[in-house]
Chain A
Amino acid sequence: MGSVSFDVYPGEFVSIVGPSGCGKTTLLKIIAGLLPESEGDIIFDNEMFDPSREVGFVFQKALLLNWRKVLDNVLLPIEILKLDKKKYVQKAIDLLELVGLKGFENSYPNELSGGMQQRVSLARALIHDPKLILMDEPFGALDAITREKMNLELQRIWADSKKTILFITHEINEAVFLSDRVVVLSARPSRMVGAMDIEFERPRTLEVRTSPKFGEHAAEVYKMLEIT
């Protein structure tokens, strides 16, 4: 990976867009402490940070444990972090309500649809109250209709939870629609080619995508990616 440097402010929604092989996932894994950075630092609130406490990770696959009911899947990080599980049960129930899965606490994952499973994994990423949510193409495996619905839902959940989100996608429209800022990476050599602020009002509706300004933003990203 080449040099990448950008700031993310508290409560911001930042997307990273780039073609496959540009190192988007690698970047997230470095932030989460899963891969060592060879050079450079992740500075968090002006200090080095402990990813296990400050990061919630949502993967492309929902990665739920089949043998656990939905509620226990959400509570998994609490168990791993050796926190008092009893104190978090109510929070898990509230989070499931936030992601629109009220009443599914005692279902098993294989009783849920793909979109619902991804909602559970979002609740799981929020349970230990991390400041930063990393999302690695979370809706990549969903069909187009479910995906649009999830984009709207994510915007609402993000606004309610006041988390900072770093969101990876290769869907340019998705990135422009969701983000306060879009960071563009290129592949071979993998490096950062630009960043762009998006200043539509919140909450955004799907209509925003038909506005001329939206088209301009998307066109600019295409240009940065040298797709013309």
Chain B
Amino acid sequence: MAKSGLDRVRKTLSPVLYFLIFVVIWQLIVIIFNIKEFVLPSPITVFRHLFDSEIAVKYHWWRHIGATLMEVIVSFALTAVLGISIAILITWSKLFNQLISPIIILFNSLPKIALAPLFLIWFGYGFIPNIMVAFLVAFFPVVINTVAGLNDVDEDLLDLVRYLNASKKDIFLKIRIPNSLPYIFAGLKISATMCVVGSIVGEFIAAEKGLGYLLRDAQAFIDTPTMFACLLLLSAIGITLFNTIGLLEKVSMPWNTNEVQK
């Protein structure tokens, strides 16, 4: 018990430790090679942009973080709900599969980010087009993974409930859907990262707030420390979302963690 507690401490500490080592090396490189701030700012400069009350206040960090976070969360929720629902419909009905699959394959083959300028014309500025881009980029991994999970059921397992005259609904609720959970979570983890990418791309093209907007704005003034600060915040958003899903995965599949602990 004491050992597993120690293991847990080590597990949570090691990423922090890696991060600290990374920051120290970064700082040393900047000092040793005397690198100009607009090429590579030192971590101290970047952190001061984020946390020093006098400098930080003019960037309105919370406003931009809030905007991007909102886009990421809404687009991710949309992706998860629609992605899983459509995957279930595709496996449920052959007709629906034949109707919708060609459209999905066609859309998936498009470079979806390239649609962002078009959305600017259709949906205007800001929130809506940004979540549309994020949704389009992140949607497919969830659908594809969920469909794979719903179909990856042992044929004998289906026989086991079929001879008991199981309804299609029961086969989905009691077998196919629980069976697809690991696949769904794998898909959600991929799409979470993609939601961040999509939101940023949307903000690059047309927005008046958000970290993507700030990143581009700072670039116009060659304000490299602000750009690095934005990157840091964006990866923090990505990591938080990713870990939240990981946590959700552990909670909703207790039988899996048992296996891992063994």
Per the bound structure, the CA–CA distance linking A33 and B159 in Å amounts to 10
Residue of B159, B161, B163, B258 ringed by the most chain A CB atoms within 10 A: B163
Query: How many inter-chain contacts with C-beta < 8 Å in the A-B complex?
Result: 58
- Given contacts A51-B163, A52-B164, A80-B161, A67 and B258 within 8 Å (CB-CB): no
Write out the residue numbers on chain B whose beta carbons fall within 8 Å of the beta carbon of A59.
156, 159-160
Determine whether the beta carbon of A80 is less than 8 Å from that of B174. yes
Total residues of chain A contacting the partner, CB 8 A: 24
Per the bound structure, the CA–CA distance linking A79 and B160 in Å amounts to 13
Write out the residue numbers on chain B whose beta carbons fall within 8 Å of the beta carbon of A81.
164-165
- Given contacts A80-B174, A110-B259, A63 and B165 within 8 Å (CB-CB): no
Question: 9 closest A-B pairs (Cβ-Cβ)?
Answer: A32-B163, A108-B255, A80-B164, A52-B165, A67-B178, A80-B166, A52-B164, A63-B157, A110-B259
Write out the residue numbers on chain B whose beta carbons fall within 8 Å of the beta carbon of A79.
170, 174
Determine whether the beta carbon of B174 is less than 8 Å from that of A76. yes
Write out the residue numbers on chain B whose beta carbons fall within 8 Å of the beta carbon of A61.
154, 156
Q: Is B82 an interface residue (CB 8 A)?
A: no
Determine whether the beta carbon of A76 is less than 8 Å from that of B161. yes
A25-76 CB contacts (< 8 Å) to partner B: 29, 32-34, 51-52, 55, 57, 59-61, 63, 65-67, 76
Q: Could you write out 23 A-B pairs with CB less than 8 Å apart?
A: A33-B163, A34-B162, A34-B163, A51-B163, A52-B164, A52-B165, A57-B160, A61-B154, A63-B154, A65-B157, A65-B175, A66-B255, A67-B253, A67-B255, A76-B161, A77-B164, A79-B170, A79-B174, A80-B164, A80-B166, A80-B174, A108-B254, A108-B258
Determine whether the beta carbon of B160 is less than 8 Å from that of A67. no
Q: Is B181 an interface residue (CB 8 A)?
A: yes
Q: Is A171 an interface residue (CB 8 A)?
A: no
B152-188 CB contacts (< 8 Å) to partner A: 154, 156-157, 159-166, 170, 174-175, 178-179, 181
Per the bound structure, the CA–CA distance linking A65 and B170 in Å amounts to 14
CB of A62, distance to nearest CB on chain B (Å): 10
- Given contacts A67-B181, A67-B255, A110-B259, A34 and B165 within 8 Å (CB-CB): no
Per the bound structure, the CA–CA distance linking A55 and B159 in Å amounts to 13
B29-45 CB contacts (< 8 Å) to partner A: none
- Given contacts A79-B174, A108-B258, A63 and B156 within 8 Å (CB-CB): yes
B112-165 CB contacts (< 8 Å) to partner A: 154, 156-157, 159-165
Q: Which B residue's beta carbon lies closest to that of A31?
A: B163
Q: Which residues of B contact A (CB under 8 A)?
A: 154, 156-157, 159-166, 170, 174-175, 178-179, 181, 253-256, 258-259, 262
Question: In the complex, which of the residues B163, B174, B175, B255 contacts A110, with contact meaning CB atoms closer than 8 Å?
Answer: B255
Q: Is A111 an interface residue (CB 8 A)?
A: yes
Per the bound structure, the CA–CA distance linking A215 and B18 in Å amounts to 69
Determine whether the beta carbon of A34 is less than 8 Å from that of B159. yes
Determine whether the beta carbon of A80 is less than 8 Å from that of B259. no
Residue of B160, B181, B255 ringed by the most chain A CB atoms within 10 A: B160
Write out the residue numbers on chain A whose beta carbons fall within 8 Å of the beta carbon of B163.
32-34, 51-52, 55, 57
Residue of B166, B175, B259 ringed by the most chain A CB atoms within 10 A: B166
CB of B238, distance to nearest CB on chain A (Å): 29
With A32-B163, A65-B175 given, name 7 new contacts (CB 8 A): A52-B163, A59-B156, A60-B156, A65-B178, A76-B161, A77-B164, A108-B255
Q: Which B residue's beta carbon lies closest to that of A61?
A: B156
Question: In the complex, which of the residues A60, A76, A80, A110 contacts B165, with contact meaning CB atoms closer than 8 Å?
Answer: A80
Q: Which A residue's beta carbon lies closest to that of B163?
A: A32
Per the bound structure, the CA–CA distance linking A108 and B174 in Å amounts to 16
Residue of A32, A67, A76, A79 ringed by the most chain B CB atoms within 10 A: A67
Write out the residue numbers on chain A whose beta carbons fall within 8 Å of the beta carbon of B179.
67
Per the bound structure, the CA–CA distance linking A68 and B163 in Å amounts to 20
Per the bound structure, the CA–CA distance linking A76 and B174 in Å amounts to 9
- Given contacts A67-B181, A108-B258, A29 and B159 within 8 Å (CB-CB): yes
Write out the residue numbers on chain A whose beta carbons fall within 8 Å of the beta carbon of B156.
59-61, 63
Per the bound structure, the CA–CA distance linking A80 and B162 in Å amounts to 9
Per the bound structure, the CA–CA distance linking A81 and B179 in Å amounts to 21
Write out the residue numbers on chain A whose beta carbons fall within 8 Å of the beta carbon of B259.
110
Per the bound structure, the CA–CA distance linking A114 and B262 in Å amounts to 16
Per the bound structure, the CA–CA distance linking A52 and B166 in Å amounts to 9
CB of A78, distance to nearest CB on chain B (Å): 10
Write out the residue numbers on chain B whose beta carbons fall within 8 Å of the beta carbon of A34.
159, 162-163
